[in-house]
């Protein structure tokens, strides 16, 4: 059956300049907005109660308070982000701590850990292979565009893993639990892809 076309409807600007086209993964459209999507109410954790921890399969749990976290080496990066709801936003600027910095104190090769679950205020979780947050691929970001990250966008701090669909960049992140076996997080448990590579259009389980 032929689909009905709404006469004269153009929709949000979807045409990307030639040079930038190759930065938009298949099935995605570019946006200049920054849409907000959450799986629950926005947590508002005061900084004096915030901490970030890494545990599981390692000799000693690592933990940083907000003040300690602020003293770690910070980086500012410009990355493209891709939401599974089809919107991509180019050249977003974030400041935070590289996950490599956080993992530096652990001899990971001596442990059987190969995966992690990122856990967050509000109960959200997402899972990743450890390899996907190492070697300059991930940050714990606390600033967006030079300003402190707002709660709606995941503040005080969120995980940033731009090479995967943005649901993996968990908002309100509070730590990593390291695992030897993979376990699906929130969206992965309700049918979204376990890995989520936007260049292979891995949106849903089975893709």
Positions in the binding site for another protein (CB under 8 A)? 3-12, 14, 29, 33, 35, 37-41, 84-85, 122-123, 167, 187, 190-192, 204-206
Q: Which is nearer to another protein, 4 or 109 (CB)?
A: 4
CA dist 61 and 71 (Å) reads 19
Identify which of 20, 80, 26 has the alpha carbon closest to the alpha carbon of residue 200. 26
Smallest distance, Å, CB 28 to another protein? 12
Q: Which is nearer to another protein, 7 or 110 (CB)?
A: 7
CA dist 65 and 155 (Å) reads 15
Identify which of 166, 173, 70, 65 has the alpha carbon closest to the alpha carbon of residue 118. 173
Neighbouring residues of 160: CB distance < 8 A, sequence distance ≥ 6:
77, 79, 94, 96, 138, 139, 140, 141, 169
Q: Which is nearer to another protein, 119 or 167 (CB)?
A: 167
Q: Which is nearer to another protein, 40 or 105 (CB)?
A: 40
Contact between 207 and 25 (Cβ < 8 Å): no
Smallest distance, Å, CB 39 to another protein? 5
């Amino acid at each position: 059956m032929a689909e009905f076309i709404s006469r004269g409807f153009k929709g949000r600007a979807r045409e990307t300049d030639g040079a930038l086209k190759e930065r938009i993964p298949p099935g995605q459209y570019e946006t200049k907005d920054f849409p907000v999507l959450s799986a629950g109410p926005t947590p508002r954790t005061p900084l004096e109660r915030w901490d970030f921890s890494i545990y599981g399969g390692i000799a000693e749990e690592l933990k940083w308070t907000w003040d300690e976290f602020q003293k770690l080496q910070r980086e500012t990066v410009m990355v493209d982000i891709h939401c599974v709801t089809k919107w991509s936003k180019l050249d977003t600027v974030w400041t935070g701590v590289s996950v490599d910095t956080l993992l530096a104190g652990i001899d990971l090769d001596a442990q059987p850990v190969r995966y992690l679950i990122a856990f967050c205020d509000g109960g959200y979780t997402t899972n990743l292979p450890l390899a996907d947050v190492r070697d300059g691929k991930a940050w714990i970001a606390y600033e967006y565009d030079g300003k402190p990250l707002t709660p709606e966008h995941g503040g005080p701090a969120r995980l940033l893993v731009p090479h995967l669909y943005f649901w993996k960049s968990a908002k309100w992140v509070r730590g990593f639990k390291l695992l030897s076996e993979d376990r699906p997080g929130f969206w992965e448990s309700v049918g979204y892809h376990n890995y989520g590579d936007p260049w292979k259009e891995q949106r849903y389980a089975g893709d």
